Chain A
Amino acid sequence: MTTLLKSLGQMFGRGNRKQETQFFSPARPRSAGPAIEIAPNDPLIAHLQGAGGVVEIERLNLDSPALERMRRVGVKLVVPLVSQGELVGLLNLGPRLSEQDYSADDRALLNNLAAQATPAVRVAQLVRQQQVEAQERERVEQEMQVARLIQQTLLPQQLPEMPGWRLAVRYQPARAVGGDFYDFYKRPDGRLVLAVGDVTDKGVPAALVMATTRSVLRGCARRMLSPGEALVRANELLYPEIPANMFITCLYANLDPVSGRLEFANAGHDLPYLSHRGAVDELVATGMPLGLMPGMRYEEKEITLLPGDSVLLYSDGLVEAHNTEREMFGFPRLHQLVNEHCTGGCSTLIDSLLADLAKFAGPDWEQEDDITLMTLERETATDPSQAEQKQMRSETRTLADFALPSVMGNECEAMTQVVAAVKELDLPDSKIQRLRTAVSEATMNAIEHGNRKQPELPVHIHVLVSDTALTVRITDRGGGRSIPEPEIPDLEAKLAGRQSPRGWGLFLIEHMVDEMHVIADEGHHTVELVLHLQGDAHADPGD
């Protein structure tokens, strides 16, 4: 009602205060009068709505602020414009210019005018309202497209492949894009990081917070933090960065595909379900959502997934979906359905759950929130020899694991021990020589820069092999310090004395191995050297 009255006021030139003050001036008889705003609860509205024709202001006796304003500005007659029982506008008239009272003919004329003007005013109001609504819809749609683009760009395009495991994800965005996200990250140690989360709010703000959260969590995954540590760090980084009314729920897990060990921590996210030998259990770990308050700690739990076990991770879009009776899908229903569908494997769980949801919600259902479903299933070893082969292929074996005091010169000892450890691999000499140089340089850096030549601080060296790679991890206690990026030394500048002759260490390491990763947390700093065992990147004719 107020909107319509305002619209009418605008149509009659409302908003120009100069005009308003001159409305009833005899010198400017054709000026439009000031718009009279009438509050929705003003008794004048009910009176005018039922008046049935011209109303004489002087004769009204109502406790109405609008009526008072009309009197003040000199309104004598009011002609209500009523369309289908609703007051859509008023024609306000001041005293006649002839200074005589309005006659019965005048009133009849005004009533006729009102009868003809009302439909036109109503149509004009509806057209205007539609224009405003169309503009708003377009704006919202554009915003949704931006949000959808941000979200779809950042969600993984491919699922990681892990022998012996089946991973499936379905992300079904709501029209008003929510803040769901999921991510995977394969760590250099062969573990897989899985994350599922949900940002409060919708649209662009949620998408932007989702993008930030994803980056922060990826950073934690790269640092190879445990799930609890990852959420602590993410919370500390996100808390000052996101708006006060927003937060993020997140389930973060590290999976060791060889042993089946799944470590997880939960920042207020819906509890995953574990299906194990016909029983379904919630995986409980407590923790507050990310970004709500600083200094949070996150409980860390772990389970071992055996062949045939599976885990469902999901967002609240599924359990909080409502049907036409406003009944919620709910956790008990989900629990029961997981139980029903996971008998003999969960490969069709996602499709089955979405089909159940469609049945529950009905054909006219409009999805209220994003729905994310992720299943992780350890395959049953139907063919033991095949399963064993797969296991062998993906297995990572430790060849050596030792520590040395941080004394200059021990880099040679590290080199000797690593070379002895990899002897059984029968690597070509060129590869052994590169490994020697890389191990020696990385150990020297660990002793000199990481542990600052403090003999009591050990340099830890871990040598692992899989069927595809040889990995040497060299860890010192220099975490938390900045790590210099390897740069190409400028030999001309060194020879001309413009640059120190030193500074070859990282350059050499990087060129001696196929991959070099630097991982650091608050306490440790690890350089990981990887030599591919198939398709030698440094192959030379002598190999």
Chain B
Amino acid sequence: MPTQAIETRMRHAPSLPEIPIIDLPSEINAQAEEALNAAFAGASRDKPKAILLDFGSVEYINSTGIALIVSLLAQARQEGIRMLACSLTDHYVEVFRLTRLADFLRIFPDEVSALAAIPALE
């Protein structure tokens, strides 16, 4: 399979501009590592209270992708940044529960509900 460029965009929500949102690529696997790490580095530079991972475009996450998310979570914990996730498909919600990632990464059905929960975070 030819290697393809993985796009991972970082943006800020207009309603909560201090909170970075990372738009994840359609496939989270080994190829996504570099882009994901770069996006996280950009998002965490200003030590935000939280970072929201938007899985809205994600169609496929493999075990390497799970490992990448675990690495991001570990970095965020070290830096005291809360991690949130939104717009996961039912299947990956199940996978996040099985792997217990859901215990460390609060999952919301969509971006709006995730952003609404951020002010209440300690």
Instruction: List residues of A (504-525) whose CB comes within 8 Å of B's CBs.
Output: 504-505, 507-508, 511
A223 within 8 A of B: no
A339 within 8 A of B: no
**Beta-carbon contact of B73 and A495 below 8 Å:** yes
A434 within 8 A of B: yes
A-B contact count (CB 8 A): 74
Take A437-B91, A441-B63, A495-B104 as given contacts and tell me if A501 and B74 are in contact as well, using a CB distance cutoff of 8 Å. yes
Instruction: List residues of B (55-108) whose CB comes within 8 Å of A's CBs.
Output: 60, 62-64, 66-68, 70-71, 73-74, 77, 89-91, 94-95, 98-101, 103-104
Please indicate the chain B residues that have their CB under 8 angstroms from the CB of A434 in the complex. Answer: 91
B5 within 8 A of A: no
**Beta-carbon contact of A505 and B90 below 8 Å:** no
B120 within 8 A of A: no
**Beta-carbon contact of A491 and B63 below 8 Å:** no
Instruction: List residues of A (400-441) whose CB comes within 8 Å of B's CBs.
Output: 407-413, 430, 433-434, 436-437, 440-441
**Beta-carbon contact of A491 and B1 below 8 Å:** no
Take A412-B1, A491-B100, A504-B67 as given contacts and tell me if A497 and B62 are in contact as well, using a CB distance cutoff of 8 Å. no
- How far apart sit A407 and B2, CA to CA, in the bound complex (Å)? 10
What 1/0 mask marks residues of chain A from 486 to 510 whose CB sits below 8 Å from any chain B CB?
A: 0001010011110011111101100
Please indicate the chain A residues that have their CB under 8 angstroms from the CB of B70 in the complex. Answer: 491, 494-495, 501
B30 within 8 A of A: yes
- How far apart sit A343 and B20, CA to CA, in the bound complex (Å)? 83
List the A residue with the shortest CB-CB distance to B73: A495
Number of interface residues of A (CB under 8 A): 32
Take A441-B62, A495-B104, A504-B99 as given contacts and tell me if A430 and B91 are in contact as well, using a CB distance cutoff of 8 Å. yes
Please indicate the chain A residues that have their CB under 8 angstroms from the CB of B104 in the complex. Answer: 491, 495
A444 within 8 A of B: yes
Which of A409, A495, A507 meets B1, CB within 8 Å? Answer: A409
**Beta-carbon contact of A504 and B63 below 8 Å:** yes
- How far apart sit A491 and B103, CA to CA, in the bound complex (Å)? 10
Which of B3, B27, B63, B89 meets A433, CB within 8 Å? Answer: B89
Please indicate the chain A residues that have their CB under 8 angstroms from the CB of B95 in the complex. Answer: 437, 508
A542 within 8 A of B: yes
**Beta-carbon contact of A433 and B91 below 8 Å:** yes
- How far apart sit A495 and B95, CA to CA, in the bound complex (Å)? 17
Take A430-B90, A494-B74, A501-B67 as given contacts and tell me if A507 and B99 are in contact as well, using a CB distance cutoff of 8 Å. yes
- How far apart sit A412 and B30, CA to CA, in the bound complex (Å)? 13
- How far apart sit A18 and B62, CA to CA, in the bound complex (Å)? 88
Please indicate the chain B residues that have their CB under 8 angstroms from the CB of A505 in the complex. Answer: 63
- Which of B1, B3, B101 has the most chain A CB atoms inside 10 A of its CB? B1
* Chain B: number of interface residues, binned into ranges: 20 to 34
**Beta-carbon contact of B101 and A491 below 8 Å:** yes
- How far apart sit A434 and B90, CA to CA, in the bound complex (Å)? 11
- How far apart sit A507 and B97, CA to CA, in the bound complex (Å)? 13
- How far apart sit A330 and B103, CA to CA, in the bound complex (Å)? 72
Please indicate the chain A residues that have their CB under 8 angstroms from the CB of B2 in the complex. Answer: 409
Please indicate the chain A residues that have their CB under 8 angstroms from the CB of B91 in the complex. Answer: 430, 433-434, 437
Take A408-B1, A412-B1 as given contacts and tell me if A542 and B90 are in contact as well, using a CB distance cutoff of 8 Å. yes
- How far apart sit A491 and B1, CA to CA, in the bound complex (Å)? 31
- How far apart sit A519 and B98, CA to CA, in the bound complex (Å)? 26
Please indicate the chain B residues that have their CB under 8 angstroms from the CB of A408 in the complex. Answer: 1, 30
Which of B1, B3, B30, B101 meets A410, CB within 8 Å? Answer: B1
CB distance from B22 to the nearest CB of A (A): 18
CB distance from B106 to the nearest CB of A (A): 15
**Beta-carbon contact of A411 and B62 below 8 Å:** yes
Please indicate the chain B residues that have their CB under 8 angstroms from the CB of A495 in the complex. Answer: 70, 73-74, 77, 104
Take A412-B1, A491-B99 as given contacts and tell me if A497 and B66 are in contact as well, using a CB distance cutoff of 8 Å. no
- How far apart sit A540 and B60, CA to CA, in the bound complex (Å)? 21
- How far apart sit A492 and B77, CA to CA, in the bound complex (Å)? 11
List the A residue with the shortest CB-CB distance to B64: A502
Instruction: List residues of A (460-497) whose CB comes within 8 Å of B's CBs.
Output: 489, 491, 494-497
Please indicate the chain B residues that have their CB under 8 angstroms from the CB of A511 in the complex. Answer: 98
Please indicate the chain B residues that have their CB under 8 angstroms from the CB of A497 in the complex. Answer: 74
CB distance from A500 to the nearest CB of B (A): 8
Please indicate the chain B residues that have their CB under 8 angstroms from the CB of A491 in the complex. Answer: 70, 99-101, 103-104
- How far apart sit A503 and B101, CA to CA, in the bound complex (Å)? 14
- How far apart sit A501 and B101, CA to CA, in the bound complex (Å)? 12
- Which of B30, B70, B104 has the most chain A CB atoms inside 10 A of its CB? B70
Please indicate the chain A residues that have their CB under 8 angstroms from the CB of B98 in the complex. Answer: 507-508, 511
Which of B62, B71, B94 meets A440, CB within 8 Å? Answer: B62
Which of B63, B71, B73, B74 meets A508, CB within 8 Å? Answer: B63
- How far apart sit A497 and B73, CA to CA, in the bound complex (Å)? 11
**Beta-carbon contact of B73 and A502 below 8 Å:** no
Taking beta carbons and an 8 Å cutoff, which residues of A are in contact with B?
Answer: 407-413, 430, 433-434, 436-437, 440-441, 444, 489, 491, 494-497, 500-505, 507-508, 511, 540, 542
Of all A-B residue pairs in the complex, the 9 with the closest CB atoms, nearest first, are: A409-B1, A433-B91, A504-B63, A501-B70, A501-B67, A505-B63, A502-B67, A504-B66, A495-B74
What are 24 A-to-B residue pairs whose CB atoms are below 8 Å?
A408-B30, A412-B60, A430-B90, A430-B94, A433-B90, A437-B91, A440-B60, A444-B63, A491-B103, A491-B104, A494-B74, A495-B74, A495-B104, A497-B74, A500-B67, A501-B67, A501-B68, A501-B74, A504-B63, A507-B63, A507-B99, A508-B63, A508-B99, A540-B94
Known pairs A494-B74, A502-B63 / 13 extra A-B pairs, C-beta < 8 Å? A408-B30, A409-B1, A409-B2, A409-B31, A433-B91, A489-B99, A491-B70, A491-B100, A495-B77, A504-B63, A504-B99, A508-B98, A542-B90
